[in-house]
Amino acid sequence: MRSTLTLVQGDITAQAVDAVVNAANSSLLGGGGVDGAIHRRGGPDILAECRALRAGHYGRGLPTGQAVATTAGRLPARWVIHTVGPVHSATEDRTALLVSCYTQSLRTAAELGARTVAFPAISAGVYRWPLPDAARTAVTTVRAALASDPTAFDEIRFVVFNDRAREAYEAALAEG
């Protein structure tokens, strides 16, 4: 079965997929936005595993552009894949780091055996990445990854939280 790319407007914590991607920060200890929602709804088991990661391999925090998986706790998903997006900069092009969030999250999902993955608009909130470019980068990167291995996943789902984000992703998906 070939992978399908879908777009949903809603709460990423409500997605019944194998893996939900979290727009985390390097501390892995929670925050606002997607991060806050995932920890709030997913419960303490997620944070407990994040703390264990900080006590072990990620003693200095999760670097920007990298991804690591934990349980999804009480979410209707099996795993949370935490990734740290770049903060948008007007002077430095950090696109490669944003691309890495998607490619590393997909690599982690494939390693887990996840067949359905939900992504938020990484960096497009607190990290101030302009939505049109955040959407274009997400769609282009995921499409390229799926083209290189069309049977790796059943569904990759972009989950957007408001109309403006939905319009940005619809435009990016229409760019073909």
Residue 38, token pair as written in the block: 């995932």
Q: Which of 19, 122, 135, 145 forms a contact with ligand APR (CB under 6 A)?
A: 122
C-alpha torsion 147→148→152→154, nearest 10: 0
CA distance 152 to 90: 35
CA distance 130 to 94: 12
Say whether residue 62 binds ligand APR (CB under 6 A): no
C-alpha torsion 41→47→49→53, nearest 10: 140
Q: Which residue's beta carbon is nearest to the bound ligand APR?
A: 31
Tell me whether residue 34 or residue 68 sits nearer to ligand APR (CB atom). 34
DSSP letter, residue 93: -
Contacts with ligand APR, 76-115, as mask; x by CB under 6 A = ---------x------------------------------
**DSSP of 94-126:** -HHHHHHHHHHHHHHHHHHT-SEEEE--TTSST
45 is catalytic: no
Write down the catalytic residue from 11, 18, 35, 149: 35
Which listed range, 50-58, 67-75, 90-98, 120-128, lies at the site for ligand APR (CB under 6 A)? 120-128
Say whether residue 18 binds ligand APR (CB under 6 A): no
Say whether residue 159 binds ligand APR (CB under 6 A): yes
Query: Which residues make up the interface to ligand APR (CB under 6 A)?
Result: 11-13, 23-25, 31-37, 85, 120-127, 159, 161, 165
Residues noted as catalytic: 35
